[in-house]
Every structure is written in C-alpha cells, then in structure tokens.
Structure 1
Amino acid sequence: MVSIGQVVIGVDDMRRAVRFWTQALHYIPRSGAVSDDWTILDPVNGLGTPLALDVSESPVQEHPRMHLDLFTENADEHAAEVERLIALGAQKVDWDLYPADPDFTVLADPEGNRFCVIDLSHG
C-alpha cells in the first residue's frame, strides 16, 4: 500500500519560497533546516501533509496539470485569506478558465506556481 508522503513544488529562489509558504500555510522548516536546493516544510501543529521545495529549472506552467487547493470555510474567510496571501507576495492570476460563478480564486506564489483558494461553503 502507498500513500502521499509529501507534495513537492519546484522553485527558483529557495529562501523566497520558504518565506512565502511558511507564512501562507503556518508551516516550519523540518529540523529548522533550509538548504539551497531542497527544503521540507511541516505543519506547525504536526497535522497535515508536508510540503517540499525543490530548486527547479523547469518553467512555470500557465495551466499546470497539478496544483495545490487551499480550503476556506466561507466567503468572508475566503476573501480574507486571498488578501492575506497577496500581502505575503502571491499574485492574482488572470485565469481564463473560470466558470460563470467560481468557488475559487487562482493565485500564483512568488515563484509563479499556481494554486487555488477555495470557498467550501459556495453552493
């Protein structure tokens, strides 16, 4: 049997990526270590999937085949989290694939990697 052990994101600038994702997700570097080419981030409370950052030369995909979904419980929390993530360095993506009444907002981290913030209460 296998299970997901961690999610890996390719980055250009390790220190910038660590700053963003630790603040965005309330994670910390495993054992306090940040290396120049590979860093694993763990949830502060120990619950959840680790996020690994790997220096990569691959270009960012405009429409990535895989991405992170960050969940919020309601519309107010969704709006507040989107604004908080933007204040940390994320950018809104001019997403051409939004449905008529989206329950999500597409953002890009400071490295350009796309991720979604989803309002779970959206009907």
Structure 2
Amino acid sequence: MRIRGTIGAWPVDLTLELDGQDWASLRAALAAGTPMAPGPEAVPEQVSSGENTDALWQGCLQVLREAGQLEGTALLATLTALAGSAAAGKRLLVRLRHDSRVRVQHAGDTPVFHWLG
C-alpha cells in the first residue's frame, strides 16, 4: 500500500508492507465494527467510551507486539486506520511512547517503536 501526499509543507511518500497476518488483523478490526472514517458525531463517543478505548488500546498493543518493531510513520498510519481518525491514532501513538513495554529509538528523522514486552 502506498500513500503519497503532504502533511503541511512536508511531502509524504509512505509505503506500508503488510503480510498475511497483518491483513488478517486489519480485517478482524474492521469486522469488529471499528469505523475507518467516523463522522463528527462518532468521535466524542469513541473518546468517552471506556470500553472502546480499552479495545483500541489492546489493538494498538497487539499491532506493535506482532510486528516487534515499526517505524513511527507506518505505526501512525496503522493506528489511524485502527482508531478511525488521525487524532485518535496520534493519541494512541503518544500513549505508546510512554508505555514501559515500548522503547522508542530515534533513527534519523523517524522514531522506531520496539516492543519489549
């Protein structure tokens, strides 16, 4: 999957490589009813629902656990798809940065997230 565009003034050319297990995880998340692009009325419900937040967090941890390590931009794209919005994906990414089971290594301009367990 290739994503091209810009974030502000920065050009973005992102390639995501998903293996069979990654696609299966994404399909399972979608089948569970995780919206890909919620309307404005869905965002407050996602944020306020403790059960949904816990499910998103567990899904977030599972993504990194299964991958072992992911580059920050690829991880953000995956979390955005999982959470259904860019804002929710960014919140999950920030939460991962501060989790004791995750180590963030800065390699050049992009951080790499490592699962420690």
* Common fold by TM > 0.5: no
Give the TM-score taking structure 1 as reference length. Answer: 0.28
Q: Please state which structure has a larger fraction of its residues in strand.
A: 1
Q: Which has the higher contact order (CA 8 A, sep 6+)?
A: 1
Q: Which has the larger radius of gyration?
A: 1
Give the TM-score taking structure 2 as reference length. Answer: 0.29
Q: Please state which structure has a larger fraction of its residues in helix.
A: 2
